[in-house]
Amino acid sequence: MPHRFRALPKAELHLHLEGAVDRETVLEINPSLSREEVDAAFRYSDFLGFLKSYAWVTRQLLTPGHYAIATRRLLEHLEGEGVTYVELTLSAGVVLWKQQEFPPIYEAVNREAGRSRVQVRWVIDAVRQWGVEAAKPVIRLAAERVGEGVVAIGIGGDEARGPAIDFKDLFREARDAGLRLTAHAGESTGPESVWQALEIGAERIGHGIRSIEDPRLIQELKRRDIPLEICITSNVRTAVVSSLDEHPVRRLHEAGVPLLLNTDDPALFDCTLTGEFALAERQFGFSIPELEVIAANSFRYAFAYPG
Ligand SMILES: [Zn+2]
Extents of the domains making up the chain: 10-300
Separation of CA 37 and ligand 1 centre (Å): 25
| Closest listed residue to residue 14, CA positions, set 268, 276, 261 | 261
How confident is the model at residue 305, as a pLDDT?
A: 87
Centroid of ligand 1 to alpha carbon of 122 (angstroms): 14
Strand 204-207 to strand 83-90: parallel, antiparallel, or no bridges (unpaired)?
A: unpaired
pLDDT of residue 2: 53
Tell me, in angstroms, the distance from the centre of ligand 1 to residue 228's CA.
12
> Do 48 and 296 meet the contact criterion of CB atoms below 8 Å apart?
no
Q: Which residue has the higher pLDDT, 45 or 31?
A: 31
Summarised one tens digit per residue, pLDDT across range 222-277 is 999 999 999 999 999 999 999 999 999 999 999 999 999 999 999 999 999 999 99
Looking at the chain, which runs of residues are DSSP E strands? 10-16, 83-90, 119-127, 150-156, 180-185, 204-207, 228-230, 259-261
Please list, residue by residue across 270-298, b when 16 or more beta carbons sit within 10 angstroms of its beta carbon and e when fewer do: ebbbbbbbbbbbeebebeeebbeebbebb
Of the residues 187, 192, 203, 276, which is catalytic?
187
Contact status, residue 260 vs residue 236, Cβ threshold 8 Å = no
Residue 299 has a pLDDT of 98
Candidates 3.20.20.140, 2.60.120.10, 3.40.50.300, 3.30.420.10; correct CATH number of 10-300?
3.20.20.140
Vertex 64: Cα angle to 58 and 65 (nearest 5) = 100
Distance 125 CA to ligand 1 centre (A): 10
Compute the distance between CA of residue 227 and CA of residue 204 in angstroms, rounded to an integer.
5
State the average pLDDT for the chain.
96
Amino acid (1-letter code) at residue 112: E
Q: CB-based burial of residue 99 (10 Å sphere; 0-12 exposed, 13-18 middle, 19+ buried)?
A: exposed
Grouping H, G, I as helix, E, B as strand and the rest as coil, residue 94 is helix
- What does the pLDDT look like over 79-89, one tens digit per residue? 999 999 999 99
Query: pLDDT of 177-198, one tens digit each?
Result: 999 999 999 998 999 999 999 9
Which residues have CB atoms below 5 A from the ion given as ligand 1?
264
The pLDDT score that the predictor gives to residue 47 is 83
What is the Å distance from ligand 1's center to 68 Cα?
A: 20
183 CA from centroid of ligand 1 (Å): 9
Task: Check pLDDT > 80 for residue 307.
Answer: no
Summarize the confidence of residues 115-137 as an average pLDDT.
96
* 231 C-alpha to ligand 1 centroid (Å): 8
Whether the Cβ atoms of residue 98 and residue 56 lie closer than 8 Å to each other: no
> DSSP 3-state assignment of 157?
coil
**1 pLDDT higher than 80:** no
**CB neighbour class for 133 (10 Å; exposed up to 12, middle 13-18, buried from 19):** exposed
Judge whether residue 283 has pLDDT over 50.
Answer: yes
**Which range is least confidently modeled, 8-22, 46-60, 133-147?**
46-60
**pLDDT number for residue 259:** 98
CA 145 to CA 103: how far, in whole Å?
A: 10
| Catalytic residue flag (residue 187) | yes
Distance CA 85, CA 304 (A): 10
pTM of this structure: 0.96
Q: Work out whether the CA dihedral 254, 158, 161, 121 comes out positive or negative.
A: negative
